Chains A and B, each alone.
Chain A
């Protein structure tokens, strides 16, 4: 090929290279700090709930549905008289699914908006990045994250996860079924950050207790966009391929997994629904998932034994019987996670009513009131199912479902009990000062 440039390299080359390298650095820094948008409300009379939302960044599809669910819950609470006779106002700030920005959002809630609580975070790295600031500012912080970080004792007395079961509990409750029905030699594919490490650490323990073993662990960065390169590491003797992934590349991940196995004999596949949250099972190239199993906290597709509470929840949030938006069948919900936003708001309401919450000066009373809660029976306010709450570790425990893919939909084949997921607490937040 003709070379049009080589002949004219000038003496500025070294300088230009340095500029180029510098510009690359600036561009990188710029990329990680996108401009963000939020709503600001003026009045401080209502109960202000600061929602730390993944409106942009890798958690955006969850954020969209978390926001819809929270808005529907707040509407309902306000229709029914608010909390302690005061209306609830949802103040949303985008954290860009970024831990650094998350901590700034917490600070903004406490100092600028003067919210009564912070609430609604999903991605575990954002929770872990934001929690120390919430503790320092003594702002009660109710997360809907699934991670084990709350119950582990790694955070502080102001952080709660009362509306969704943590990963460790989920693992313990499901491992016996997996070992008995799918196999005992497992290869794990998981996201290479905090949430993935919970899977790595606690599923391997849980399957070992069932006489099984993890043959290979394959961590994948959540920002990855190409996945085939990871699959040759799956050992041939694998009986169960366990996958959980999050981020914008999840559909590519599942498609490439199907391409990799092709028509050859493949291990049995057990996935966390996270790998396909907000994705339609009827998408082309996902046919290979037929017969594989998924964890679901709350079945996306309406089941024959649907409860009236599930029906009510779908109606309020605007979700059809296939788990999609009633306005757009292509807009698939994050059904196994977003119920946590609904339930958590009702728990905040319950705790505020117990302590007669009147304003930020009562925040420590709110913490103690939340810690005093012990159970949430299945009801309209807790549609996913009954839960028990351990105030010492700030964590709730509920039921889980294992579903099988049949004709591009998920049908529940096994439901665990709350007791299946209990473990010995490793911490006691009550010992921490307020």
Chain B
């Protein structure tokens, strides 16, 4: 294949990767930004989203599009409720202590993963894409649904931006993040805001997995990669920096796509982890984070 088409395919693959990664990394980043805790079970919420989507789309008889759209509504809500309850029933009780939360979410990782293994089984399953549309470039073919993933992710990200920056809910979240004591004094129910943010983080991960599920397969171990990639993105972007997370997701997604194709996927992973090491050494606040003066 010539360089031009090669680069085009690599870029498309990178953009799909970046689209899904930005959603799941944004979820992780949001939780850290507001709650100051690390959610190690983030990848399992991602996996749970895809599993619920599979259940919904397989239960509903009819056109795959209706099943997919229903899954897009139901699965994040279900995951959100689980995450909200986790926060209220466990994390709230340990005062969102950063160290204890890591231990608790590792426990959650096992509980969710093994519950899905028992209930859903160990097999990889498929979700029908909502539509079959195939683009035939002169040099290679490409799935139209994959391109739509990029668009859908962009729309979802815009919606997140709107909620955070233009709504009362977003204002309350930002206020809680800036100074939780002052927010509480001003009458903001900080505990509930924490619950909502934790649920939102999990829902963003679930949305990412639902978009990708018709391309890949649903499997109880599918949360590992997104968890690691989200951590990589959030560390490179700067902990808690939403702009940083989005830029880093684009950087990692594109570099992964291009390096994977021109060299090897293993080298792409090495590049990402090397970048994490360099950032931790030379700019520990992340590429887009700010050092406190």
Contacts and interface: CB of A to CB of B under 8 A. Distances in A.
A260 B261 CA distance: 14
A318 interface: no
A321 interface: no
A414 B260 CA distance: 38
Interface in B110-127: 110, 113-114, 117, 121-124, 126
Interface string A35-70: 100000000000000000001111011011000000
Contacts of B216: 225-226, 249, 252
What class of interface size applies to chain B in its complex with A?
Answer: 35 or more
A375 B142 CA distance: 51
Given A9-B285, A55-B122, A262 B239 contact: no
B242 A264 contact: no
Contacts of A9: 238-240, 285, 289-292
Contacts of B43: 27
A196 to B, nearest CB: 14
A278 B289 CA distance: 48
Contacts of B126: 251, 283
A10 B241 contact: no
Nearest to B137: A262
Contacts of A432: none
A13 B221 contact: no
Contacts, number: 195
Nearest to B144: A259
Contacts of B235: 17, 20-21
A20 B221 contact: no
B284 A10 contact: no
A264 B29 CA distance: 43
B56 interface: no
A4 B122 contact: no
B128 A284 contact: yes
B106 A27 contact: yes
Given A6-B288, A17-B239, A232 B141 contact: no
A10 B292 CA distance: 6
B177 interface: yes
B227 interface: yes
Nearest to B173: A4
A2 interface: yes
Interface string B98-140: 1100100010011001100100011110101000101011001
Q: Which secondary structure dominates chain A's binding surface?
A: helix
A10 B75 CA distance: 35
B225 to A, nearest CB: 7
A103 B32 CA distance: 39
B292 A30 contact: no
A175 B173 CA distance: 65
B185 to A, nearest CB: 17
Interface residues on A, range: 35 or more
Contacts of B243: 1, 3, 6
B38 A30 contact: no
A1 B161 contact: yes
A6 B290 contact: yes
A28 interface: yes
B84 to A, nearest CB: 20
> Taking each of A27, A226, A230, which has the highest tally of chain B beta carbons within 10 Å of its own beta carbon?
A27
A24 B10 contact: no
B261 A229 contact: yes
Given A13-B284, A23-B102, A226-B13, A4 B123 contact: no
Contacts of A19: 38, 98-99, 102
A248 B141 contact: no
A24 B231 contact: yes
Nearest to A288: B141
Contacts of B36: 16
Interface of B: 1, 6, 9-10, 13, 17, 29, 32-33, 36, 38, 40, 43, 98-99, 102, 106, 109-110, 113-114, 117, 121-124, 126, 128, 132, 134, 136-137, 140-143, 161, 164-165, 170, 173-174, 177-178, 215-217, 219, 221-222, 224-225, 227-228, 231, 234-235, 238-244, 246, 257, 260-261, 265-266, 276, 280, 284-285, 288-292
Question: Nearest 8 pairs between A and B by C-beta?
Answer: A262-B141, A60-B122, A248-B124, A2-B165, A5-B240, A5-B33, A229-B260, A4-B174
Interface of A: 1-11, 13-14, 16-21, 23-24, 26-28, 30-31, 34-35, 55-58, 60-61, 63-64, 221, 224-226, 228-232, 236, 248-252, 256, 259-264, 278, 283-285
13 contacts: A5-B240, A7-B290, A16-B36, A21-B280, A30-B110, A34-B110, A35-B114, A226-B17, A229-B10, A259-B134, A260-B140, A261-B141, A264-B136
